[in-house]
Amino acid sequence: MGLVSVANTQPRLSTFEGWTLREYAVVASTNLVAATLPAWSAVRSDTQTNGRGRFQRAWVSDEGGLWLSAVEPAVGDTIGRRAMPLAAGLAICESLQQLGVSHVRLRWPNDVLVDDRKLAGLLIDQFSLGLVVVGIGLNVRNRPENFDASLKNCTTRLADLLPEPPELPQLTVVILRHLRRVWLELERSGAAALFLRVNRLWEASRKVELDLDGDLRRGVFAGVDDQGRLILKNEAGTTDFYDAHQVRHLTET
Ligand code: BTN
């Protein structure tokens, strides 16, 4: 199926709790469909032909996974902007905890892992001033390793973690509800309380290597500070703080 006909397919529309949800059988990328939609729109597709991951990587989007994008208003100030990707990761973790998933943790900034295997990834895009698209890829009953052998033993899925994983429409409602709740908390009460909750989700302090656009720094990742900056205790015994845009990639070592 060509991309033009994909884009022209009529979605199933529904509304709930302030969200307008468009559901498709197939799109190129839900983030790209969401790019032109207003705040509190969401797009879910059964599959994506051009699923996008961070760092321009392809994202395997096979049938049975949750491929969802949510449009949120950008929170105005610098700390709010720093907080939004972290708040989105927090909302996904809190959704999963509510569903009964144990040992959920974050890897900076917002990869969601269970036992060191990736369960969900987030791609935050800003296509227009004042709106942020939060793209969520969550493995549910799909088998991404069948489409990319390098993912074998690196990913997990809800079907492996829960006796009865939710159906995709139910999971969509739970996640959108948490995204909106966490966004409202950020808007109304500020980022400080959210950063405290986010900092509980990294689990143990971990040795990491930061790639600052080719400049590599090693140390121990110690969460985020009260302004949302990454804290790195470096090998010299001092502490450095990094804004997300300075860090191209974090590798746990
Ligand atoms: C990552 O690299 O970890 C982020 C992956 C994000 C994938 C999701 S699936 C829904 C949305 N649409 C996309 O094309 N990407 C995101």
- For 92-134, the pLDDT digits (tens) are 999 999 999 999 999 999 999 999 999 999 999 999 999 999 9
Q: What's the pLDDT at 22?
A: 98
Q: Determine the distance separating the centroid of ligand 1 and the alpha carbon of 121, expressed in angstroms.
A: 6
Q: Check if 48 has its Cβ closer than 6 Å to any atom of ligand 1.
A: yes
Q: Where are the alpha helices (DSSP H) in 22-166?
A: 30-34, 78-98, 158-161
201: closest CA among 100, 83, 107, 81?
107
φ and ψ at residue 192, rounded to 5 degrees: -55, -50
Please determine, for residue 4, whether its predicted confidence score (pLDDT) is greater than 80.
no
Tokens of 210: 């930061």
Backbone angles phi, psi at 185, to 5 degrees: -60, -40
Q: Is the CB of 121 under 6 A from ligand 1?
A: yes
The pLDDT assigned to 78 comes to 83
pLDDT, tens digit, for every residue of 80-89? 888 999 999 9
Please compute the mean of the pLDDT values over residues 231-241 and round it to a whole number.
93
35-54 confidence digits (pLDDT tens)? 999 999 999 999 999 999 99
pLDDT band at 8 (very low <50, low <70, confident <90, very high): low
Q: Judge contact between 181 and 193, C-beta under 8 A.
A: no
Q: Which atom of ligand 1 is nearest to the CA of 52?
A: 14
Query: Residue 2's pLDDT band (boundaries 50, 70, 90)?
Result: very low
Instruction: Give, for 199, the enclosing helix (H) or strand (E).
Output: helix 192-199
